[in-house]
Amino acid sequence: MKEQLTIIPIRITKAGQQYSFQHKLPRSAEKIIGIETGVIMRSPLPLIAGNGIRQFKREVMLGSLRLQANGSSNLFYAADIKADDNSIIQGEFIHAPGPAGQPGFPFFDFKVCTHGTKREEEPLDIPGCSIVSGIYRDNTGLLFTNPVHYHINIYVWTSNLPA
């Protein structure tokens, strides 16, 4: 089985933006086997204070995504798009938080896992569709006063028909 990846880019520039899209899958695509999402921030997020020395910060939900395929599968995927995974640094030595309500020391304030994380798509099995349509609703208008610019890439993994 040969797999193929297509990318649906979304650019969000306004707070509360709602972006509808339609994406044609390749003719050779037999079925959708996975969906993966990624975020590229184009403007910094406003600082959110943690709750004390442990710096438990809630994750910023940028918006919600819903995907729909033509055919009987209809609405097949819904996800919350988050700016960052804050739980990734908990218990990691590399992260040195600052005093309560303050950011960590710049040199140590890496929000990365020391061993890295493996990104994987969410497995699906959606046969017989040729178009993926969807809607993305931005949530940052409810959280911040200033607009936050970011790009979202939706990675659609498909398996191909045998040649």
Partner 1 sequence: MTEALALAYIPARMTELGHTAYSLRLRHYLLGAKKKLKIHGEGQLFLLLEPDCMISVNSDSGVFDLTETNINELSYEHQGSIRIRNYSAVPISVKFIQVIPKKETPCQQ
Binding site for partner 1 (CB under 8 A): 14-20, 66, 68, 70-72, 74-75, 78, 135, 138
Q: How far is the CB of 45 from partner 1 (least distance, A)?
A: 19
* Rounded Cα distance, 35 and 131, in Å: 14
Q: How many CA atoms lie less than 13 Å away from 68 in the CB half-sphere?
A: 10
* Distance (Å) of CA 163 to CA 17, 27, 116, 132, 156: 41, 12, 37, 23, 20
Q: Specify the residue, 55 or 140, whose C-beta has the smaller distance to partner 1.
A: 140
What is the smallest separation between the CB atom of 129 and partner 1, expressed in angstroms?
10
85/61 Cα distance (integer angstroms): 10
* Residue (4 or 70) nearer to partner 1, CB: 70
Q: CB of residue 141 vs partner 1: minimum separation in angstroms?
A: 8
Please report how close the Cβ of residue 83 comes to partner 1 at its closest, in angstroms.
Answer: 19
Question: Between residues 18 and 51, which has the closer beta carbon with respect to partner 1?
Answer: 18
Of 33 and 67, nearer to partner 1 (C-beta) is: 67
Position of tokens 């997020």? 45
Shortest approach of partner 1 to residue 149 CB, angstroms?
14
Instruction: Read off the tokens for 98.
Output: 């600052």
By C-beta, is 77 or 157 nearer to partner 1?
Answer: 77
Residues 6+ apart with CB under 8 A from 28: 4, 160, 161
